[in-house]
Structure 1
Amino acid sequence: MKKLALILASVMLMASLTACSSGESETVSINFPTASTTGTVYPMGSAIANLWNTEIETVKASAQASNGGVDNLNLIADGDAQMGVAITSILYESYTGTGTFEGRANEDLRVLAGLYYNPNQIVVAENSGIESLSDLVGKNFAPGASGSTGEVETNIHLTQMGLNYPDDIKAQYVGFTEAVDLIRNQQLDGAWIMAGLPTAAVTEVTATAGGKVIGIEADLIASLQESYPWYAAYTIPAGTYEGQDEDVLTTAVKLTICTDASVDDDAVYEMTKVFWENIEDLAVTTPALAGLKVEDAVTDLAGVPLHDGAIRYYQEIGVMD
Structure 2
Amino acid sequence: MKNWKKVLAVSMAAMVMAGALAGCGDDKKGGSAKPAAGQTLKINFPTAGASGALYAVGAAITNMWSNNVPGVQAASQASAGGIENLNMVSDGEAQVSIAIASNVYQCYKGLDSFKDHAYPDLKVIGGLYLNPNQVVASANSGIENIQDIKGKHFAVASAGSSVYNEAEAHLTTAGMKFPDDIKAEYITFGDAADMIQNGSIDGAWIMSGAPASAVTQALTSGAHLVPIDDNLMKELKAKYPWYTSYTIKAGTYPNQDKDIQTSAIKMVMFCRGDLPDDVVYQLTKTLWEHMDEMGQSQKNLKGLTAENAVKDIAGVPLHPGAEKYYKEIGVLK
3-state SS of paired residue (1:257): strand
Change (3 A) 1:217 1:267: same
- 2:306 maps to 294
Where do 1:99-138 residues align within 5 Å?
99-138=112-151
Offset at residue 221 of structure 1 (A): 0.7
3-state SS of paired residue (1:167): coil
Separation (CA, whole Å) in 2 of partners of 1:119 and 1:24:
39
Count of aligned pairs: 302
Instruction: Find 2:107's aligned residue among 87, 94, 99.
Output: 94
2:91 is aligned with 1:78: yes
- 2:198 maps to 185
- 1:163 maps to 176
Separation (CA, whole Å) in 2 of partners of 1:134 and 1:146:
21
Offset at residue 148 of structure 1 (A): 2.3
User: Which residue identity does 2:225 align to in structure 1?
Assistant: V
TM-score (norm 1): 0.91
Instruction: Find 1:54's aligned residue among 63, 67, 73.
Output: 67
Larger Rg: 1
User: Which residue identity does 2:226 align to in structure 1?
Assistant: I
Separation (CA, whole Å) in 1 of partners of 2:35 and 2:45:
24
Instruction: Find 2:161's aligned residue among 112, 124, 148.
Output: 148
Change (3 A) 1:20 1:136: closer
3-state SS of paired residue (1:76): helix
Q: CA RMSD in A?
A: 1.5
Indicate the percent of aligned positions where both proteins have the same amino acid.
Answer: 46
Separation (CA, whole Å) in 2 of partners of 1:270 and 1:204:
39
Separation (CA, whole Å) in 1 of partners of 2:66 and 2:279:
12
- 2:80 maps to 67
The 8 Å contact of residues 87 and 255 in structure 1, kept in 2 or not, is answered as yes
Which 5+ residue runs of structure 1 have no aligned equivalent?
1-18
Change (3 A) 1:266 1:188: same
**1:105-127 deviation digits (Å, cap 9, x = unpaired):** 21011111100111100011111
Instruction: Find 2:44's aligned residue among 31, 50, 55.
Output: 31
The 8 Å contact of residues 35 and 41 in structure 2, kept in 1 or not, is answered as no
2:201 is aligned with 1:195: no
Offset at residue 21 of structure 1 (A): 9.1
- 2:237 maps to 225
Offset at residue 145 of structure 1 (A): 2.3
Separation (CA, whole Å) in 1 of partners of 2:35 and 2:273:
22
Separation (CA, whole Å) in 1 of partners of 2:211 and 2:189:
14
Offset at residue 265 of structure 1 (A): 1.6
Separation (CA, whole Å) in 2 of partners of 1:33 and 1:24:
23
Offset at residue 24 of structure 1 (A): 4.6
Change (3 A) 1:134 1:270: same
Separation (CA, whole Å) in 2 of partners of 1:39 and 1:218:
28
Change (3 A) 1:245 1:109: same
**1:52-106 deviation digits (Å, cap 9, x = unpaired):** 0000122111101111111111111111111111010111111111122223221
TM-score (norm 2): 0.88
The 8 Å contact of residues 98 and 270 in structure 2, kept in 1 or not, is answered as yes
